[in-house]
Chain A
Amino acid sequence: MVTADTSTTSETRDTEQAGEVVLRGVNISKTYGVTRALRGVNFDVRRGEVTVLFGENGAGKSTLMKILSGVEQPTAGHLELDGEVIELASTTDAVERGISIIHQELNLNPNLKVRDNIFLGRELLSVRGINYAEQSRITREVMERLEEPISPDTYVQDLRVGQQQIVEIARALSTDARILIMDEPTSALSTTEVHVLFKIIRELKRQNVAIVYISHHLEEAIEIADRAVVFRDGELVAKEDAANIDLPWVVRTMVGREADYDFRDEPREYGDVVLSIQDVSVYDSVSEKFPVNHVSLDVREGEIVCLYGLMGAGRTELMETLAGRDKVAGGRIMLDGKDMAGRSISDRIQRGMGLVPEDRQRDGLIKLQSVGKNLSLAGLSWWVRNGLLQRGAENERVKQQIADIGVKTAGPQAPITSLSGGNAQKVVIGKMLLTDPRVLLLDEPTRGVDVGAKGEIFSLIFKQARKGLAVLFVTSDVGEALTASHRIVVMSRGHLVTEFDPREATREDVMAAAEDSTPELLSAEAPGAHATNGADG
């Protein structure tokens, strides 16, 4: 359809047709150090249509978004806007060409008025300084276009999250955005707010705005989609008209091929209950919500329990609370029958409960230290005699551990930054194993790890489980949940909603269970009894 005819740029604007390709990515690849986030991706964005990007974590959606919005530049390939090859050097560059992005975390200054947020960084000036009257007029105009009566003079902090998002959309429209990228726009919204958002999206379509939409909530995304694009392992694996897709298709295409590991036949001989989570709730004072809401769960010796859920379901909050970083708002955490209330992180590690955190770079690695010192950090007390470290003994144990867990490295002295993602993750896990834990908590243990190393990491975990280690791991990868656990517990919006036996459950069952819950549950409730909110409308 669109050719490389470059002479038509200004004219096409006047005669734009819905359904025409406005933005095209040609053969886009992106490499970060050792990982390849995108491989030769070709795709189109069309006027007046919603293009939904589907894919699991790490499939390449967010990298593509960063490239479209000018945050990153592709390693290979290029973008075409209205058939013209463009390079987006920065986000400002992208905005000037009419491409705006609305991030999951809203980018507003709560202490400023709606009007001032919309014009932040590009204030309209007159001889007497900022022309507030004109700014207010334009803000009102845009709000009318969105059919949302938000006053330009309201402070953003006084708006609900849904309204704040509308302010972001208004800001994008006020820059004449023709392409609007929305990253997880519904994750913080209530059902009513989602309906308002969808109404606005339909309105924008009528105005010929092209929308790129990304969401983990598959059903919502399918509802609003005109076209679906599915990513897997950095590749675009499917393009389809919305009319031809349904939830099972999306799930099937997202997950794709089977992992090359399968631990379903592992023995299931469990011992006593090691970790007992009893009616635990966690309160987040920033959002004034309960990300973990009355959760109860037992994990036994030798048992590997998978906690499956979408991002934002409260999984990480639960894990960090177990590890001792966050306080419980209600309920008890029992380790070998002892209440962990008031115990510090180091205390819990000594008693046998340690966390391998979700964000390896931020929470797992000591980047200025060697592989060996990273490995021994949590278990240093083993090698202390008379207050001094027995470095010979430490080094022996560390070398042994490197061999045991199969870290590919030049040796204990090598800098930790020289390792690939999978090997660095093995070091973080190996560090906790050196503390001789009773229960190991793993938050997304295979994030940013290539497929081969995933299998190795799970073999390592199963090997420990056979020796009696209790394991609780979080994942948003259904394949992993089904093939590498003894039991799947599904968490959704702060609650444990159901449980599966991985030998009997299907992908669709598990994914559907994680989707199914009402947004309102998150906002209120907790200490009291379970609310019995019905399904959403």
Chain B
Amino acid sequence: MTTTAETDVAASPKRFNINFGALIMEGRALVALIVIIAIFALMNDNYLSSGNLATIAKDVAFNAIIALGMLLVILKGGIDLSVGSTVGLTGAVAGNLFQGVSLPLTDAVMYPSLWVIVVIAVAVGMLVGWINGLLISRLNLAPFIVTLGMLYVGRGLTQVLLGGTNITNELRGQEGLNNEGLFAIFASYPLGVPISAWVMIALAVIFSILLTRTPFGRWLYATGSNERAAELSGVPVKRVKTRVYIFTGMCAGMVGILQIANIRSSTADLGSLYELNAIAAVVIGGAALSGGRGTVRGTIIGAFVIGFLTNGLVIVGVSPFWQTVITGAVIILAVAMDQIQQIVQRRRADARAVAQARRESEKHDDADVAEEPSDTQKVH
């Protein structure tokens, strides 16, 4: 029992250290967020108006939902470039379902009900993710290449489905067909907060639990940190790898539905470049692109940084060209700081290890101590 007491005492400062380190990592993004909000609030009175905050919340939510899916893929050490196209594709699939599906061999046109449409759209997103996942985990293809290809395939299929026009009026649904209510539900503001923000919150909670309270979460972090070691520990590495892409596909499908309700139209370019914003949010939130490190909290903060920054630049009237330059610079800055911090931490850890080794060898026996500095005199 004495040993337990001993380790507990020793553990407490260590625990404090770790949390402190994690705090700085995520804290950095949080500090950036506060600075951004302060600067733009001073420059423009409308920035923190409830109307503008609702706009920001919606944009942040769309990005954050995608980013949560992206977080899982990045934790695994992968990347998913196809999510933006999947948003467009699921929007187009939903749009087509609202238009009605002509059944072959008959003159009948089938109109699925609203919730069937929603489920199918999300399922299409998951299907795309599943295909990505299978190609990556079973055939060992590079995630970058597979999802880049899927980016083209998804965007192309979107254009095929939409046939060069947008689907707009049909999204309202028709009385008696049981497919009304897309806007009423998926563009609503329960308690004054956009529904997409509620979805974001719900997903953030679910993904937090998934990552910290389930074996899947442990497997994911382990696989991302050291796939070989995880495999030898009995982690079903291939299943984990496939599943994360299904999650990103699911998130993209949800955003597809939310977005067509939001802009009241299914368009061919819906969701383009979403993948890049999502990756940026995950990275600003402190995740490592090499896998194994990252949190839900960080990712959400990262999405807020991007949202508040983009909106602020618009509202203070920075030219759109410079907006892009500044956003890019912020992303690079965030990653650079992360890297610098890691180098500093590693140096400290090395120094600590060497110091400990020295202490241990001094304790060990006297014969060994003669080793390093005094050796020179001893031999010659």
Interface 1/0 per residue, B359-380 and A, CB below 8 Å: 0110000000001110110111
Find the A residue at minimum CB distance from B215.
Answer: A380
- Interface residue B190 (Cβ < 8 Å from any Cβ of A): no
Across the interface, do B375 and A27 meet the contact criterion of CB distance under 8 Å? yes
A27 to B379, CA, bound (A): 8
- Interface residue A389 (Cβ < 8 Å from any Cβ of B): yes
Across the interface, do A346 and B11 meet the contact criterion of CB distance under 8 Å? no
Interface 1/0 per residue, A461-485 and B, CB below 8 Å: 0000000000000000000000000
Given contacts A27-B375, A34-B356, A36-B371, contact A350 B222 (CB under 8 A): no
Interface residues of B in 200-237 (CB under 8 A from A): 209, 213-215, 218-219, 221-222, 224-226, 228-236
A503 to B274, CA, bound (A): 69
A349 to B235, CA, bound (A): 10
Across the interface, do B218 and A377 meet the contact criterion of CB distance under 8 Å? yes
Residues of B within 8 A of A417 (CB): 349
Across the interface, do B357 and A345 meet the contact criterion of CB distance under 8 Å? no
Across the interface, do A411 and B8 meet the contact criterion of CB distance under 8 Å? yes
A373 to B221, CA, bound (A): 10
Find A368's partner among B10, B225, B375 (CB 8 Å cutoff): B225
Across the interface, do B232 and A29 meet the contact criterion of CB distance under 8 Å? no
Find the A residue at minimum CB distance from B292.
Answer: A368
Across the interface, do A410 and B213 meet the contact criterion of CB distance under 8 Å? no
Residues of B within 8 A of A36 (CB): 361, 371
Residues of A within 8 A of B4 (CB): 399, 403
- In the complex, what's the smallest C-beta–C-beta distance from A425 to chain B, in angstroms? 13
A381 to B349, CA, bound (A): 33
- In the complex, what's the smallest C-beta–C-beta distance from A386 to chain B, in angstroms? 10
- In the complex, what's the smallest C-beta–C-beta distance from B281 to chain A, in angstroms? 21
Find A389's partner among B215, B222, B232 (CB 8 Å cutoff): B215
Binds B, one of A107-115, A196-204, A358-366: A358-366
Residues of A within 8 A of B371 (CB): 29, 36, 39-40
Interface 1/0 per residue, A1-39 and B, CB below 8 Å: 000000000000000000000000001010101111001
Across the interface, do A377 and B379 meet the contact criterion of CB distance under 8 Å? no
- In the complex, what's the smallest C-beta–C-beta distance from A340 to chain B, in angstroms? 14
The size bracket of the interface on B is: 35 or more
Find B3's partner among A366, A387, A403 (CB 8 Å cutoff): A403
Find the B residue at minimum CB distance from A40.
Answer: B375
Residues of A within 8 A of B215 (CB): 380-381, 384, 389
Residues of B within 8 A of A412 (CB): 11
Given contacts A34-B354, A377-B218, contact A357 B232 (CB under 8 A): yes
A side interface size, CB within 8 A: 57
- In the complex, what's the smallest C-beta–C-beta distance from A358 to chain B, in angstroms? 11
- In the complex, what's the smallest C-beta–C-beta distance from A356 to chain B, in angstroms? 9
A366 to B11, CA, bound (A): 20
- In the complex, what's the smallest C-beta–C-beta distance from B22 to chain A, in angstroms? 12
Find A354's partner among B209, B221, B234, B354 (CB 8 Å cutoff): B234
- Interface residue A122 (Cβ < 8 Å from any Cβ of B): no
Residues of B within 8 A of A370 (CB): 18
A354 to B233, CA, bound (A): 8
Across the interface, do A411 and B15 meet the contact criterion of CB distance under 8 Å? yes
- Interface residue A521 (Cβ < 8 Å from any Cβ of B): no
Find the B residue at minimum CB distance from A400.
Answer: B4
Residues of B within 8 A of A35 (CB): 357
Interface residues of B in 279-300 (CB under 8 A from A): 292-293
Given contacts A29-B372, A410-B10, A413-B18, contact A355 B232 (CB under 8 A): yes
Across the interface, do B7 and A410 meet the contact criterion of CB distance under 8 Å? yes
Find A76's partner among B218, B225, B229, B375 (CB 8 Å cutoff): B375
Given contacts A349-B234, A389-B213, A411-B8, contact A377 B222 (CB under 8 A): yes
Given contacts A388-B213, A414-B11, contact A27 B225 (CB under 8 A): no
- Interface residue B353 (Cβ < 8 Å from any Cβ of A): yes
- In the complex, what's the smallest C-beta–C-beta distance from B287 to chain A, in angstroms? 11
Interface residues of A in 389-421 (CB under 8 A from B): 389, 391, 399, 402-403, 409-415, 417-418, 420
Across the interface, do B357 and A34 meet the contact criterion of CB distance under 8 Å? yes
- Interface residue A221 (Cβ < 8 Å from any Cβ of B): no
A403 to B2, CA, bound (A): 11
- In the complex, what's the smallest C-beta–C-beta distance from A320 to chain B, in angstroms? 9
Find the A residue at minimum CB distance from B216.
Answer: A387
- In the complex, what's the smallest C-beta–C-beta distance from B53 to chain A, in angstroms? 35
Residues of B within 8 A of A355 (CB): 232
Residues of A within 8 A of B214 (CB): 384, 387-389
- In the complex, what's the smallest C-beta–C-beta distance from A322 to chain B, in angstroms? 12
Residues of A within 8 A of B378 (CB): 40
Across the interface, do B226 and A414 meet the contact criterion of CB distance under 8 Å? no
Find B379's partner among A42, A367, A384, A418 (CB 8 Å cutoff): A42
- In the complex, what's the smallest C-beta–C-beta distance from A354 to chain B, in angstroms? 7
Residues of A within 8 A of B360 (CB): 34, 420
Residues of A within 8 A of B349 (CB): 415, 417-418
- In the complex, what's the smallest C-beta–C-beta distance from A75 to chain B, in angstroms? 8
A399 to B380, CA, bound (A): 50
List 8 A-B pairs, minimum CB-CB distance, nearest first: A411-B11, A346-B234, A349-B234, A34-B357, A368-B225, A378-B233, A410-B14, A368-B292
A-B contact pairs, 25 of them (CB 8 A): A27-B375, A27-B376, A34-B357, A36-B361, A40-B375, A40-B379, A75-B372, A344-B236, A345-B232, A346-B236, A349-B233, A354-B234, A355-B232, A363-B229, A364-B229, A367-B226, A368-B225, A373-B218, A373-B222, A378-B234, A380-B218, A388-B213, A410-B10, A410-B11, A413-B15
Kindly list 17 other residue pairs between chains A and B, CB separation below 8 angstroms, not including A346-B234, A420-B357.
A34-B360, A36-B361, A40-B378, A40-B379, A75-B372, A76-B375, A345-B234, A366-B222, A367-B226, A370-B18, A377-B218, A380-B215, A389-B218, A403-B4, A410-B10, A414-B11, A417-B349
